[in-house]
Chain A
Amino acid sequence: MSRTLAEKVWEAHVVRHGSGAEPDLLYIDLHLLHEVTSPQAFDGLRLAGRQLRRPDLTIATEDHNVPTIDIELPIADPVSRTQVETLRKNCAEFGVRLHPMGDAEQGIVHVVGPQLGLTQPGMTVVCGDSHTSTHGAFGALAFGIGTSEVEHVMATQTLPLRPFKTMAITVDGELKPGVTAKDIILAVIAKIGTGGGQGYVLEYRGRAIEALSMEARMTVCNMSIEAGARAGMIAPDQTTFDYIEGRPHAPSGADWDAAVEYWKTLRTDDDAEFDAEVHLDADELTPFVTWGTNPGQGLPLSASVPDPEAIVDENERVAAEKALTYMGLEPGTPLRDIHVDTVFLGSCTNGRIEDLRSAAAVLRGHKVAEGVRMLVVPGSMRVRAQAESEGLHEVFLAAGAEWRQAGCSMCLGMNPDQLKPGERSASTSNRNFEGRQGKGGRTHLVSPLVAAATAVRGTLSSPADLV
């Protein structure tokens, strides 16, 4: 029978098929841990006298809470410090490899996994973090779970799950210069809505997707959750294999050949049917930004703040009114006229080396606008080291931006990197929810190119506006 990519990966991991309403039992190949969603799960194991079944399929990093300056000092916030120290104690007790603050491999969990070569096609990957969907860029079935499920995977290396539905997101055509993976995914979410993907695995396909680098594919898959989807996937191809080859945990020799042979089978069969299909034309896409308080409230940068009165659906109209009040925006204001106070370049969405390179290319020879603060936070210490070896940090510093250590940082403001009430940001992160970047903070989601151009002009801008 013809199958989609997601169905192939699912089937290859079924330990036991459920009967009737009973879910399948799915094997998990890789479990990623961080300090926020794991302490209660470790406690649960201890309380029940259970073992961590597969420490060799488990890895941890410190990312959500960590400061991005003065990392050699103890964490100032005692509650954050306790959480990080608890992760260290738990990892030592249960034998889990941990990349702590200051370690060369420390960074955001979804940047670290791929860069170590631990994320590979056809695997099942989970983490107590919704942006686990990032790893789907490799053709892995990767999804976020809650802490009860974290404990379940710790104890059994499996999860009981009902099969997901499948949705094809086909992006044909070719992206114009200045239009990026971030613009693709923001446009997808605006099109299908924050609930449009609920219950689905999205498979991104089509020429524009095939043309993307691995890092750009990760940006796309990362935000699948923002459309409500369980996961996002892209079929592995030569781009994928080239990215993995030679990484620390990649197979080598005869194992490499066997792996690649298997990975090549991980494509949706030609006559396989999806439960839903969506089409986008890459040629029609332009830089995209959000104006509201959920990632579906986005428009091309050339548009204006929408008028809620013109929205037919009552729920959406009320949501838009509330969003504009929170965001302090007037209907009809051109998006390009919106002033920002802060630009944040980083996160598991856009904190990789290509993101830093593209932003640096825009910033080179320019200055961050008067009164604007720009934070550049690499996704991992390895990304930071790579950027420094290329001299990118000098470009950021010369422009007047701050060059920070690795972590989740202002994406969710669990560390001191936060917006103040009423402050407005252009952010390469993934969520523009109320208060996400700090209580009362106002977030516009943008690509790294738009972030850099916005930093220079002080208003939402694309690189084309700088010429």
Chain B
Amino acid sequence: MEAFTTHTGVGVPLRRSNVDTDQIIPAVYLKRVTRTGFEDGLFAAWRGDEQFVLNQEPFRAGSVLVAGPDFGTGSSREHAVWALMDYGFRVVISSRFADIFRGNSGKQGLVAAQCEQSDVELLWKLLENEPGTEVTVDLTNNTVVAKDFTAPFTVDEYTRWRLLEGLDDIALTLRHADDITEFEQRRQGWLPTTDPVPAS
């Protein structure tokens, strides 16, 4: 994973709460078996509407999404994160994120920055009054800055460390492979197994 320290890009105000992952990318776009190319599915239903924020300049080229509370609810599809990143987003700002979405973001290097709702409202007004305003999200000191607006954000400490270092979770866990093996020896014998088949 690429390390993330700070990002500056055009802020996109998305005045909607409960943006579920079916809205971020509808199920019909989940059929690909690759990890890239999901940008066409991003907000697919809404992008048919000319008034939708991503259909307007200069928001089209945005990379910092500022959304209402409860962003990323519903389905666990990591495709939601891939679609946002494939489109060009590097940061989503919201006052509340769904847990699985937040977790998925952290694995992919998309920063899910949690701000107070009052700060989200201020940012919305700024981005709507002055479209094209760039927003800087600095993970080294947890601040969001846009013109004279500054606000703190929170992100899980461990995720923050991993993002700053650009570390891969699996490699970190495999440092503890001996602990896993030891745990496996302690598991109850009656726990179920699944009748695996011979690997080809």
Q: Residue of A at shortest CB range from B68?
A: A315
A96 to B193, CA, bound (A): 11
Cβ-neighbour of A145 out of B34, B76, B187 (below 8 A): B76
Q: Within 8 Å CB of A82, what residues of B?
A: 31, 33
Report chain B residues within 8 Å CB of A158.
Answer: 173, 180
Assess whether B132 is interfacial by the CB under 8 Å rule.
no
Q: Which of B20-28, B55-63, B138-146 lies at the binding interface?
A: B20-28
Which of A48, A195, A315, A433 lies in contact with B170, CB distance below 8 A?
A: A48
Please tell me if the beta carbons of A95 and B199 are within 8 angstroms of each other in the complex.
yes
- Answer yes or no: B30 CB below 8 A from chain A CBs: yes
Q: B81 contacts which chain A residues (CB < 8 A)? A: 146
Interface residues of A in 410-467 (CB under 8 A from B): 412-414, 431, 433-436, 439-440
Contacts A97-B197, A156-B173 given; does A146 touch B107 at CB 8 Å: yes
Q: Which residue of chain B is the closest to A250 with respect to CB atoms? A: B192
Q: Which of B178-194 contact A (CB under 8 A)?
A: 179-180, 183-184, 187-194
Interfacial chain B residues near A86, Cβ < 8 Å: 33
A window 127-154: CB within 8 A of B = 128-130, 144-149, 151-152
Residues in chain A near residue B190, CB distance under 8 A: 251, 255-256, 258-259
CA–CA, A375 to B184, complex, Å? 45
Kindly state the separation between the CA atoms of A16 and B157 in the bound complex, as whole angstroms: 18
Q: Which of B104, B170, B183 has the most CB of A within 10 A?
A: B170
The reply to whether the CB of A242 lies closer than 8 angstroms to some CB of chain B is no
* A228 and B17 contact, Cβ closer than 8 Å, known pairs A83-B31, A96-B197: no
Closest B residue by C-beta to A42: B33
Q: Does A207 belong to the interface (CB within 8 Å)?
A: no
Q: How far is the CB of B199 from chain A (nearest CB, A)?
A: 3
Q: When chains A and B are docked, how far (Å) is the Cα of A64 from the Cα of B81?
A: 20
The distance in angstroms between the C-alpha atoms of A91 and B195, with both chains bound, is 13
Closest to A323 in B: B18
Q: Which residue of B lies closest to A27 (CB)?
A: B183
Q: Which of B5-13, B83-91, B92-100 contacts A (4 or more CB under 8 A)?
A: B92-100
Chain A nearest CB, measured from B128 CB (Å)? 15
Tell me the bound Cα distance from A37 to B81 in angstroms: 13
B-contact bits for A95-130, CB 8 A (1 contact / 0 none): 111100000000000000000011010010000111
Interface centre among B17, B117, B179, B194 (most CB of A within 10 A): B194
User: Contacts A56-B194, A144-B76: A15 and B183 contacting too (C-beta < 8 A)?
Assistant: yes
- A43 near B194 (CB under 8 angstroms)? no
If A130-B76, A262-B188 touch, does A439 touch B45 (CB 8 Å cutoff)?
yes
Given contacts A15-B176, A123-B191, A160-B169, are A145 and B22 in contact (CB under 8 A)? no
Instruction: Using A16-B179, A195-B73, A434-B23 as known contacts, say yes or no to A152 and B169 having CB atoms under 8 A apart.
Output: yes
B74 touches A130 (CB 8 A): yes
Contact indicator B77/A439 (Cβ below 8 Å):
no
Query: What residues on A are CB-neighbors of B188 within 8 Å?
Result: 258-259, 262
User: CA separation between A255 and B191, bound complex, in Å?
Assistant: 9
Checking B97, B179, B198 against A15 with a beta-carbon cut-off of 8 angstroms, the contacting residue is: B179
> Are B31 and A198 touching (Cβ within 8 A)?
no
Least distance between A357 CB and chain B CB atoms (Å): 27
User: Given the complex, which residues of A lie within 8 Å of B193, measured CB to CB?
Assistant: 56-57, 249
Query: Which residues in B have their C-beta under 8 angstroms from that of A435?
Result: 22-23, 26, 45
Min CB distance, A18 to chain B, in Å?
8
B154 in contact (CB, < 8 A) = no
Closest Cβ of chain A to B110, distance in Å, is: 11
State in angstroms the CA–CA spacing of A151 and B169 once bound together.
10
Cβ–Cβ < 8 Å partners of A170 in chain B: none
Residues in B neighbouring A412, C-beta threshold 8 A? 22, 27, 75
Q: Quick one: closest A residue to B173, CB to CB?
A: A156
Least Cβ–Cβ distance between A5 and chain B, in angstroms? 18
Residues of the B chain whose Cβ atoms lie less than 8 Å from the Cβ of A433: 20, 22-23, 74
- A80 touching B31, Cβ below 8 Å: yes
Given A155-B170, A251-B190, A79 and B32 touching (CB < 8 A)?
yes
Q: Which of B18, B117, B194 contacts A59 (CB 8 A)?
A: B194
Q: Which of B26, B27, B28, B156 has the most CB of A within 10 A?
A: B27
Bound-state CA distance A90–B75 (Å) is 23
Evaluate whether A56 and B196 lie within 8 angstroms (CB atoms) in the complex, with A128-B76, A433-B74 already known.
yes
Contact assessment for B73 and A16 in the assembled complex, using a CB-CB cutoff below 8 Å? no
A65 touches B31 (CB 8 A): yes
B147 adjacent to chain A (CB < 8 Å): no
CA distance A43 to B35 in the complex (A): 9
Distance (whole angstroms) from the CB of A421 to the closest CB of chain B: 10
Q: Within 8 Å of chain B (Cβ to Cβ): is A319?
A: yes
Cα–Cα, bound, A244→B40 (Å):
45
Most chain-A CB neighbours within 10 Å: which of B15, B79, B196?
A: B196
Question: Hey, which chain A residues are within 8 Å of B184, CB to CB?
Answer: 27, 157
Is residue A166 within 8 Å, beta carbon to beta carbon, of the partner chain?
Answer: no
Cα-based distance from A107 to B103 in the complex (angstroms): 28
Please name all residues of chain B whose beta carbon is closer than 8 Å to the beta carbon of A414 when the two chains form the complex: 27-28, 30-31
Residues on B with beta carbons closer than 8 Å to the beta carbon of A225? 74, 100
Does B200 belong to the interface (CB within 8 Å)? yes
Given that A130-B76, A194-B73, A262-B188 are known contacts, is A160 also in contact with B173, CB under 8 Å in the complex? yes
Question: Given the complex, which residues of B lie within 8 Å of A259, measured CB to CB?
Answer: 188, 190
Name the residue in A79, A80, A146 with the highest tally of chain B Cβ atoms < 10 Å from its Cβ: A146
How distant is the Cα of A43 from the Cα of B183 in the complex, in angstroms?
A: 27
Please, could you name 15 A-B residue pairs with CB atoms under 8 Å apart, sorted by A? Answer: A22-B158, A36-B77, A37-B76, A50-B170, A58-B196, A80-B31, A95-B197, A118-B192, A129-B75, A158-B173, A198-B96, A228-B70, A412-B75, A414-B30, A431-B22
Instruction: Given contact pairs A39-B33, A80-B31, A412-B22, enumerate 12 new A-B contacts (beta carbons under 8 Å).
Output: A21-B157, A40-B35, A56-B193, A86-B33, A97-B197, A117-B192, A129-B76, A147-B78, A155-B174, A160-B158, A258-B190, A262-B188
